[in-house]
Amino acid sequence: MLTQTILQSQIKEHRVKIFPSYFEAQVNNSKNFEIRKNDRNYQVGDLLLLEEYDPTTENYTGREVHCLITYMTAFKQKPGYVVLGTRKLGTA
C-alpha cells in the first residue's frame, strides 16, 4: 500500500494542447506517439491529458483524452524534443 502511494505521488499529469487531426488519430488508435518539446521533464509512466485545440478558432473544443507515456526517446529529434510512446486510457 505504501509503495503504491509513493508511486502515485511520483506520477505527473501533463495537460497539453493537440490539433484536431492529431487528436482524432490518438482517439482512433492510429497514432500511438507524440513528438513534444521536453520542457516538462516527461517521464515514462507519466500521464498526458491531450486537450483538443482548434487553431482556426483559437479555442479548445472540450474534447480530451488521457494517454500513458509508455516509451521515450530523443533519437534523431531536434535538440530539446522527444518522441513519447503513448497508450490511450480513455476519453471524456
What residue numbers bound the domain in which 81 lies? Answer: 2-91
pLDDT band at 9 (very low <50, low <70, confident <90, very high): low
Is the pLDDT score of 6 beyond 80? no
Q: What is the pLDDT of residue 41?
A: 95
DSSP 11-68: --EEEEEE-HHHHHHHHTTS--EEEEE--S---TT-EEEEEEEETTTTEEEEEEEEEE
- CA dist., res. 87 & res. 18, Å (int): 16
Q: What does pLDDT average to over the chain?
A: 91
pLDDT in tens, 11-55: 899 999 999 999 999 999 999 999 999 999 999 999 999 999 999
Q: What is the pTM of this model?
A: 0.85
CATH number at residue 28: 2.30.130.30
Number of domains in the chain: 1
The torsion of the CA quartet 77, 80, 85, 86, rounded to 10 degrees, works out to -140
Q: Is the pLDDT of residue 91 over 70?
A: no
